[in-house]
Amino acid sequence: MSSYVKDFMDEIKAKNPAQPEFHQAVQEVVNSLTLVLERHPEYRKAKILERIAEAERVIMFRVSWMDDAGEIRVNRGYRIQMNSAIGPYKGGLRFHPTVNLGILKFLAFEQVFKNALTTLPMGGGKGGCDFDPKGKSDNEVMRLCQSFMSELFRHIGPDTDVPAGDIGVGGREIGFLFGQYRKLRNEVTGVLTGKGLDWGGSLIRPEATGYGAVYFAAEMLGTRNQTLEGKSCLVSGSGNVAQYTIEKINQLGGKAVTLSDSNGLIYDPAGIDAKKLDFVMDLKNIRRGRIKEYADKFKGVTYTPLTLNLDHNPIWNIKADCAFPSATQNEITAKDAKNLVNNGVSVVAEGANMPTTQEGVDVFLDARIMYAPGKAANAGGVATSGLEMSQNSTRMSWTREEVDGRLHQIMKSIHRTCVDAAAAYGTPGNYVNGANIGGFLKVARAMLEQGLV
């Protein structure tokens, strides 16, 4: 088996050169599947792994637009349609200068397993643009979104591919993208999720990823008869996921003490309560400012700039009980993971996608802490997007309580799937194996049943 896995990974690297994040994401899944492939020779024979790691379709396109100074700008847009065996492609759009083919392929690959875990019929996809929204006016963002959608509209649709937000794509961008789609197609359908409440959006969708990550952490704590009550929590990032992670931590009696952005981090030992969180939401979502302003506003808060020559991220070297990485990929290295474990962190629930390097994951697994990978812990976002799709199809809208109740049930179900799959394949308590195996089995069965297409 080990030679099969090695050959498989060698081929992935040869066929997808210069895409280290994609290699990392595939390797992590393959590491979990050794026993599955041994017990299911039919999956090897049908080359399920080889087929799952090859996108069904990759679309790359020019996005040209004009800035406020009348200068022409040219960006690159992408949509990776990874796997549709269990439903229409579903996954977010990311606008960030670091966006490239390899990063979006890693995200699309992860999305396939995550979406399978949600219990809803959704395939996996991801897309984005190497555009940096920082410092751009609303009009510039609108022109970029319109140019992006002028190509993307021909590849998506409510039964084909339903994008959503991700880093740099929030309610404002979804609005501009939806407006352009509606104009070009002359139809109003649930083609995007994360829409405004007045035009087809779902209650709780903005909250869902952060709330879901905290629900998942609570489930993990429950396996050791503990709760979040009184627990101190490190949260990185300060965008959508970070904000609602903190809101739910507060509701469940925990105390969030950090936030960050790409320039630095704040540490507030008194805790980021509801009032301070209102300030953060206004700062990040309306004024689009930097997290440093939090330290200027509130007493007793320290601000630490993030410098590139540090060998660790200081946010992960603060004493706490739980950690919710909610910024970006590979923000926790092996050194950071050791700092977390040595400082007594016993729960890590990933709101971000793949925020921990493979070496960091190994540190968590060796220490046997409760560690939930993003494809399980942050699946509440896409699950609630699935609920938005259902509401759009039936032209109904559900109450806040109904959507939140369903989200909570889905997170419990994902937790149960992870626990059961990990135990069934000989690694009880290992949520990495549980999530990878649970997600893989559902997609593999569907692919096998649908033949070689």
Binding site for ligand NDP (CB under 6 A): 96, 98, 165-168, 170, 209, 237-241, 261-262, 326-328, 351-353, 378, 381
The residue (of 75 and 328) whose beta carbon lies closer to ligand NDP is 328
The residue (of 168 and 314) whose beta carbon lies closer to ligand NDP is 168
8 A C-beta contact, residue 236 and residue 214:
no
8 A C-beta contact, residue 249 and residue 273:
no
Annotated active-site residue 126? The verdict is yes
Give phi and psi for 323, each to the nearest 5: -135, 135
Q: Please state the closest distance from residue 244 (CB atom) to ligand NDP, in A.
A: 9
Encoding tokens for residue 26? 């595939």
Q: Count Cα atoms within 13 angstroms, Cβ side, for 25.
A: 28
Q: What is the C-alpha to C-alpha distance for residues 373 and 210, in angstroms, rounded to an integer?
A: 14
Residue closest to 117 by CA, chosen among 436, 339, 451: 436
Q: What is the C-alpha to C-alpha distance for residues 184 and 218, in angstroms, rounded to an integer?
A: 44
Which single residue brings its beta carbon nearest to ligand NDP?
A: 239
Encoding tokens for residue 241? 């996921």
Q: Please state the closest distance from residue 36 (CB atom) to ligand NDP, in A.
A: 25
Q: Please state the closest distance from residue 354 (CB atom) to ligand NDP, in A.
A: 8
**Looking at 105, 114, 126, 375, which residue is catalytic?**
126
8 A C-beta contact, residue 354 and residue 374:
yes
Q: Count Cα atoms within 13 angstroms, Cβ side, for 64.
A: 4
The residue (of 48 and 177) whose beta carbon lies closer to ligand NDP is 177
The residue (of 37 and 249) whose beta carbon lies closer to ligand NDP is 249
Which pairing describes strands 124-129 and 72-83: parallel, antiparallel, or unpaired? antiparallel
Residue closest to 404 by CA, chosen among 254, 248, 249: 248
Encoding tokens for residue 174? 């979804």
The residue (of 262 and 397) whose beta carbon lies closer to ligand NDP is 262
DSSP annotation of 123:
-
Q: Please state the closest distance from residue 423 (CB atom) to ligand NDP, in A.
A: 26
Q: Please state the closest distance from residue 134 (CB atom) to ligand NDP, in A.
A: 7
Residues involved in catalysis: 126
